[in-house]
């Protein structure tokens, strides 16, 4: 009887000790693709996500457009209602003209064609998935396209020593919203395939707000006093990829861009 009592006491005291030490029981793992439970008192945004908009073709409202004619409808561009609040990008007059030039030469100039990293916020709404891995003081956002990736520092870090294709991201919580402040962005990325662009002064503030287990409301504020007359915002939902075997696969497009970039330097090309 004394043994049984002792055994019961051990079980009880283990549980009490565990609770006292604040050790959480490992959260129940649902099927792959299910929403994970809250982590360290905050929403856990981990998972594979994707935007379902036509924004990568043009972030403003636009009608359907032809693609390169030899491919018929294959690479034509669908219409979209746009993701820009007020449907207006407040360009300075010189910049509005430059955007039109970019558009006219977009198949030649778009950095996406060269498999260059897409920058922020374009990476969010390209029509390909990305994966968030929310750690204890860092959050990884890994994009399928061009194996682009970002590390969101939730702890205090120094400034970036350089300007980067994917910027330098510092995150904090505002209630249940993850706010990411992105600086040190280079000027060579576009917002979309329509030639909407920015300078190296670009500053992006992202807000990721969970709106249900499989939905994040995403908002980005764009500031760039060299190009725009005022800050502007864009917003769209992000949907969890819920396939049973959902996995972020490589979209390693560097080899696919080599003909475009180096074809004229190939032996026998000239």
Partner 1 sequence: MRHDIRSFATAAALVLLASAPLGAQSFKTPWGDPDLQGTWTNQTLTPLERPAEFAGKPVLTEEEARAYEARLRQQNNADIRTPGTRRDVTVAYNDVWWDRGERIVADRRTSLIVDPADGRIPPMTPAGQARAAKARAANAAFGDNPAAPEDLDVYSRCIIRSALPRLSTGYNNNYEIVQTPGYVAILQEQIHDTRIIPVDGRPHLAGTVRQWLGDSRGRWEGDTLVVETTNFTDEARGSTFRDATRNMVLVERFRRVDAETIDYQFTVTDPDTWTRPWTVKMPWNKVDGLLYEYACHEGNYGLANTLRSARAAEKAAEQK
Q: What is the dihedral of CA 124, 125, 128, 132, to 10 degrees?
A: 30
Q: Work out whether 158 is an interface residue with partner 1 (CB under 8 A).
A: yes
| Options 145, 165, 190, 197; binder of partner 1; rule CB under 8 A | 165
Tell me, rounded to whole angstroms, the distance of Cα 44 from its chain centroid.
16
Q: Work out whether 149 is an interface residue with partner 1 (CB under 8 A).
A: yes
| Options 211, 229, 252, 260; binder of partner 1; rule CB under 8 A | 252
| Options 70, 94, 175, 245; binder of partner 1; rule CB under 8 A | 245
Q: What is the dihedral of CA 16, 17, 21, 26, to 10 degrees?
A: -70
Rounded to an integer, what distance in angstroms lies between the CA atom of residue 228 and that of residue 91? Answer: 4
Cβ-contact 232, 88 below 8 angstroms: yes
Q: Work out whether 13 is an interface residue with partner 1 (CB under 8 A).
A: yes
Rounded to an integer, what distance in angstroms lies between the CA atom of residue 141 and that of residue 124? Answer: 10
Q: Work out whether 108 is an interface residue with partner 1 (CB under 8 A).
A: no
Rounded to an integer, what distance in angstroms lies between the CA atom of residue 74 and that of residue 45? Answer: 34
Q: Cβ of 159: how many Cβ atoms within 10 Å?
A: 9
Selected range binding partner 1 among 67-75, 139-147, 209-217, 224-232, rule: CB under 8 A: 139-147
Token pair, residue 253, equals 């497009």
Selected range binding partner 1 among 72-80, 101-109, 164-172, 216-224, rule: CB under 8 A: 164-172
- Which residues of the chain form contacts with partner 1 (CB under 8 A)? 2, 5-6, 9-10, 12-14, 16-17, 23-27, 29, 32, 36, 39-40, 44, 46, 114-117, 131, 133-140, 142, 146-149, 151, 157-158, 160-162, 164-166, 188, 245, 247-250, 252, 254-255, 257-258, 261-262, 265-268, 270
């Amino acid at each position: 009887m004394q043994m049984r009592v002792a055994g019961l006491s051990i079980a009880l005291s283990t549980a009490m000790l565990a609770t006292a030490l604040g050790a959480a029981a490992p959260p129940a793992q649902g099927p792959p693709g299910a929403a994970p439970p809250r982590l360290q008192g905050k929403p856990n945004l981990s998972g594979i996500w994707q935007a379902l908009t036509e924004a990568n073709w043009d972030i403003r409202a636009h009608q359907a457009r032809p693609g390169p004619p030899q491919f018929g409808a294959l690479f034509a561009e669908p219409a979209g209602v746009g993701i820009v609040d007020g449907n207006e990008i407040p360009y300075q007059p010189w910049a509005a003209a430059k955007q039109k030039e970019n558009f006219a030469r977009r198949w030649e100039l778009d950095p996406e064609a060269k498999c260059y990293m897409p920058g922020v916020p374009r990476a969010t709404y390209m029509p390909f998935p990305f994966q968030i891995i929310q750690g204890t003081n860092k959050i990884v956002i890994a994009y399928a396209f061009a194996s682009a990736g970002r590390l969101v520092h939730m702890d205090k870090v120094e400034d970036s020593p350089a300007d980067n294709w994917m910027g330098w991201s510092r995150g904090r919580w505002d209630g249940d919203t993850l706010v990411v402040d992105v600086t040190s962005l280079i000027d060579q990325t576009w917002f979309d395939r329509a030639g909407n662009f920015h300078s190296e002064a670009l500053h992006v503030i992202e807000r990721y707000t969970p709106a249900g287990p499989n939905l994040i409301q995403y908002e980005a504020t764009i500031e760039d006093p060299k190009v725009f007359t005022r800050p502007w915002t864009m917003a769209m939902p992000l949907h969890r990829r819920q396939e049973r075997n959902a996995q972020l696969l490589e979209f390693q497009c560097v080899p696919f861009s080599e003909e475009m970039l180096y074809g004229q330097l190939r032996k026998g090309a000239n």
